[in-house]
Amino acid sequence: MKTLNVIRKIWVLLLIVPAIFLAGCSKNFDVPPVNVPMFQLPDGASIISIKALKNRHTVLAQLDSINDDVYVTGIVVSSDATGNIYKSLYIQDTSGGLLISLDATNMYNMYPLGQRIYVKCKGLFLGDYNGMTQLGMPYSGTIGRIPSVLMSQYLFLHELPGAIPVAKVVTIPTITSNDLGTLIKLENVRFVDVAMPFSDALVSTNRTISDGTNTLILRTSNYATFRATLIPDSTGSITGILGVFGTDLQLYIRDLNDLVGFDYSTQLLVNESFASGTMGTFTQYNVTGNEVWAASSYSGSTFAKISGYTAGVYSANEDWLISPTMNLDNYTHEVLKFFTMMNYGAAGDGSLRVYYSNDYVSGDPTTSTWTEITTATLSAGAWANTLSGDVDLSAITGTNVHIAFKYTCTTSNVATWELGGIMVKGKHN
């Protein structure tokens, strides 16, 4: 019986002891309170304006260290959420805008739009990359990025994010160097490169903004999440951050919300640059002669090329370069664009003509009905690179439309044509 009592006691212990520990180690963590950061300027430090700071960098490509205990403060106007702005943070105060170069991505979480920050400048450096002044740290003798781990030592948050400064409305000719690094807004402008992607897949790309007279570069990173979106038509306003590269001013948008009033319905029906080294989406057809249209390139430019001359022999030729089929009933406001470069022929000699057809299917084009398009501007010779201008195709309808370029030559009058950048755009119904 004595043993039984002991047993009972032990079993009670068995239940109690774990219960004691239960409270000990399995933690439920409290939610940390929202932190409203309040920056306090250290004793002996002073605040200067962004403009005053940038003015310390006067000699291009020079690296200027900041050795006195100065701070600048501004509100974040950039966001790297789409990846178009990369490893850069732009803040502005009433005097100007500042590019801070940081070795970090996804900064929009830590430094969101509208966030006021104070920047401790002592220990940092001013420099420029092709004329664009920036705050950073040395890298290989020039200005480089502040390592991400050190961000917290130089950038201080103040309060929670608030309103984003209203972009200054400017016109292209009135932009000044004071606007660099700040948010500006252009109204009633349009894009020249409608229906082209904002950026090529492999390299950052410049597109052109036009107010009808003056132009400004819109630069988009190939890493931007919207880079494949086609540039919209019509006029609207564009908000972005102004930068400079050498003598070229460049505008960076943060995301597509920075474009207001544009029309995205314009699409490309045909877009052939012959960059693949083949005829691409086009087909060539040799009616007579020894030569054919073939893909070629010169100094980075790609095109289709033809000449009736080969190795000292001139042959009479008739060669067609035919587009893929287009259903123009699905579109309105169709426009054809291309460029030509010609040599060894006479201006307007008719050795290259542009046509369209409603009944061509495939193979020999001479059995189909073709109507000539005469409104395109063609190269006048001496390799003059000539843009066709916007060739209006809106009068053409049909579900099976082809565009064709016909080259002809005799044995005595033999021109060489280079033809590229062929685009047909239209508004989708």
Partner 1 sequence: MKKTILLLLLVFFAASWLSAQTASLEGVVTDVTGSPMAGVSVNVGNKTYMTDAAGKFSASGVSYGKTDVTFVMDGYETKTMSVDVNSATMKLGYVQVKSTTAANESPTETSVSTIESEDEVKDQYVSGLLHSSNDPFVSIASYTLSAGYFRPRGYDNEYSEVMISGLALNDPETGRPNFSDWGGLNDATHYKESSYGLNPTRYSFGTLSGTSDIDVRASHQRKQIKASYAFSNRTYQHRVMLTYSTGLMKNNWAVTASASTRQGNSGYVKGTFYDAYAYFLSVEKKINSKHSISFTGFGSPAKRGMQAAATQEVYDMLDDNYYNPNWGYQNGEVRNSKVRNSHEPVLLLSHFFDISDKIKLTTTLGYSFGRTGTTALNWFNSADPRPDYYRYLPSWLDNMGYLTGTPGDPQSIAAITSLWQNNESLSQINWDQLYQINYLSVLAGKQSRYVVEEKVLKHSQLGLASHLNYEINKNIFFSGGLNINIYKSNNYKVMNDMLDGNGQTGYWLDIDQFSQRDFLGDTNKAQNDLNNPNRIIKKGDKFGYDYDIHINSGNLWGLGEFTYNHIDFYVGLKLTGTQFWRVGNMKNGRYPEESYGASAKYSFCDYAAKAGVTYKITGRHYVVLNLAYSTMAPSFSDVFLAPRVRNAVIPDIKTRKIFSGDLSYIIRYPKFNARITAFNTNFTDDTKVIYYYMDAGGAVGLKESFVNYFVTGINKKHQGIEIGLEVKIIPVLSVVAGGSIGNYRYTNRPNAYITYESGLLPDSTQKIYCKNFFVSGSPQTAGSLGLKFGPMKYWYANINANFFGNNWVDFAPNRRTTDAFLGTHLYVGDDRLTAITDQQKTNNNAQFTLDLSVSKTFKIKNVYIGINLSCSNVLNNTKMITSGYEQARTDFYTYGADAFPAKYYYGFGRTYFLMASVRL
Residues of the shown chain interacting with partner 1 in the complex, contacts defined by CB under 8 A: 3, 6-7, 10-11, 13-14, 17-18, 21, 24-27, 29-35, 81, 103-107, 109-110, 112, 137-140, 144, 147-150, 152-153, 160-161, 225, 227-228
Q: How far is the CB of 23 from partner 1 (least distance, A)?
A: 10
Q: How far is the CB of 95 from partner 1 (least distance, A)?
A: 27
Instruction: Give DSSP secondary structure letters for 280-307.
Output: TT-EEEEEESS---EEEEETTEEEEEEE
The whole-angstrom separation of Cα 350 and Cα 340 is 13
CB neighbour burial string for 239-272, b if at least 16 within 10 angstroms, e if fewer = bbbbbbeeeebbbbbbebebbeebebbbbebbbb
Q: How far is the CB of 220 from partner 1 (least distance, A)?
A: 13
Choice between 25 and 166, CB closer to partner 1:
25
Q: Please name the amino acid found at residue 55.
A: N
Beta bridge partners of 129: 132
Q: How far is the CB of 53 from partner 1 (least distance, A)?
A: 20
The whole-angstrom separation of Cα 396 and Cα 327 is 10
191, 218, 216: which is closest to 206 by C-alpha?
A: 218
3-state secondary structure of 8: helix
Choice between 139 and 383, CB closer to partner 1:
139
Q: How far is the CB of 124 from partner 1 (least distance, A)?
A: 11
Q: How far is the CB of 191 from partner 1 (least distance, A)?
A: 20
Choice between 268 and 294, CB closer to partner 1:
268
The neighbour count for residue 200, using CB atoms within 10 Å, is 13
Tell me the torsion sign for CA atoms 11, 12, 18, 19: positive
Choice between 26 and 412, CB closer to partner 1:
26
185, 176, 164: which is closest to 253 by C-alpha?
A: 185
Choice between 69 and 211, CB closer to partner 1:
69
Q: How far is the CB of 270 from partner 1 (least distance, A)?
A: 21
Q: How far is the CB of 18 from partner 1 (least distance, A)?
A: 4
Burial group, residue 65, by CB count within 10 angstroms (0-12, 13-18, 19+): middle
Tell me the torsion sign for CA atoms 329, 335, 336, 338: negative
The whole-angstrom separation of Cα 84 and Cα 221 is 5
Structure tokens at 186: 């252009």
Choice between 148 and 325, CB closer to partner 1:
148
5 contacts: CB under 8 Å, gap ≥ 6: none
Choice between 30 and 43, CB closer to partner 1:
30
Choice between 5 and 299, CB closer to partner 1:
5
Q: How far is the CB of 259 from partner 1 (least distance, A)?
A: 18
Choice between 17 and 384, CB closer to partner 1:
17
Choice between 102 and 419, CB closer to partner 1:
102
Burial group, residue 234, by CB count within 10 angstroms (0-12, 13-18, 19+): middle
Q: How far is the CB of 260 from partner 1 (least distance, A)?
A: 20
Tokens 């019509």 appear where?
Answer: 234
Pairing of strands 283-288, 317-322: antiparallel
